[in-house]
Amino acid sequence: MKKLLRRIAMFALSIVALGAVAIYIGSEHRLGKTYEVAVTDFHADTGLPIEEASRRGRSFMCVGCHRSAGNVLFKAPLVGTLVAPNISRIAPTYTDGELERLIRHGIKKDGSAALVMPSATFAHLADDDVANIISWLRTQPEAADALPSATSFGPLGRLALALDQLPFEADHTPHDRPKLAHRPENPGQYLVANTCSHCHHLQTNAEVEGKMVPPLAIVSQAYSLGDFIKLLHTGIGTGDRDLGLMSEVARANFSNFTEAEIASIHEWLLTEPQDESAHP
């Protein structure tokens, strides 16, 4: 009887081991998947002074995720640690064309996909703003990696990868969308689509990091233009409130908007949105 139980236990352990190996192989296969999107002959030259190009580039929320030397976006036992990498160290290893593909399509230098990179939104960026982002990246002094410096996966994370349940933006990015050469002269809708819509829906609540995010077209009705400028430049909401993540994003990114850009955003939110799509 003991011998039989031992055999059953060994068989069960073998099944578990085979399952673990299958999950690991499946997860590595998903991580190594490549995408047939060619690197274009893109040159990051907008003709703007570098200070203005950098100002515009900073407004598109790269710092919100990557910070100055990498940033942990998510960490959970058994699932893993998701890290936005140190762009000051990585950007110099990419050509302008490779950075354009990464920004717009979520595809890394080796052809594999970046996890959580918001390229489904950035696919709509005009050429000159992609160039502004790249120009700004080129000005960043290289900094030592923050720790931990790389994404890692626990057993549950590996299982999610093997089952293709993690958000690789390259799977949802319109690779053949016609691209704008320049941002619109009245850029309110354009800036909402390429910044605010990372977190907000227009007419319904959204959820970010487990917290409810209010509908942008509705909550903006409570803000005068002066209060809206104050919110985006300082992160301080009506009633002198700190708005948590919104305040952090405003100070790190939206503080780079000019008052004219904010006025264009405010005007469009008050007069135009009728559905969930901010994209033209």
pLDDT given for residue 11 in this prediction: 64
Give the percent of the chain with pLDDT over 70: 94
pLDDT given for residue 176 in this prediction: 73
We report the CATH number of the domain holding residue 254 as 1.10.760.10
Same domain, 236 and 178: no
Whether residue 3 is contained in a domain is answered as no
Same domain, 74 and 196: no
Judged against a pLDDT cut of 70, whether residue 27 lies above it is answered with yes
Matching residue, tokens 């950075």: 99
pLDDT band for position 275 (50/70/90)?
A: low
Query: In whole angstroms, how far apart are CA 23 and each of 70, 164, 231?
Result: 28, 11, 46
Judged against a pLDDT cut of 60, whether residue 227 lies above it is answered with yes
Judged against a pLDDT cut of 80, whether residue 12 lies above it is answered with no
* Boundary (domain end) residue, out of 183, 210, 231: 183
pLDDT band for position 179 (50/70/90)?
A: confident
Judged against a pLDDT cut of 70, whether residue 129 lies above it is answered with yes
pLDDT band for position 98 (50/70/90)?
A: very high
Judged against a pLDDT cut of 90, whether residue 121 lies above it is answered with no
pLDDT band for position 198 (50/70/90)?
A: confident
Structural domain including 230 reads 184-280
Strands (E), the chain: 71-76, 80-84, 152-153, 206-208, 211-213, 236-237, 241-242
- Average pLDDT over all residues of the chain: 90
Whether residue 274 is contained in a domain is answered as yes
Report the number of distinct structural domains present in the chain.
2
Judged against a pLDDT cut of 90, whether residue 133 lies above it is answered with yes
Give the percent of the chain with pLDDT over 90: 73
Q: Which residues are within 8 A (CB) of 86 and not within 5 positions of it... i.e. 6 or more apart?
A: 66, 69, 70, 143, 145, 146, 149
Which two structure tokens, joined as six digits, stand for 232?
Answer: 């985006």
* Boundary (domain end) residue, out of 118, 153, 183: 183
Comparison of pLDDT for 249 and 210, the residue scoring more:
249
Q: How far apart are CA 18 and CA 24, in angstroms?
A: 10
pLDDT given for residue 212 in this prediction: 87
Q: Name the least confident of 83-92, 176-185, 235-244.
A: 176-185
Whether residue 11 is contained in a domain is answered as no
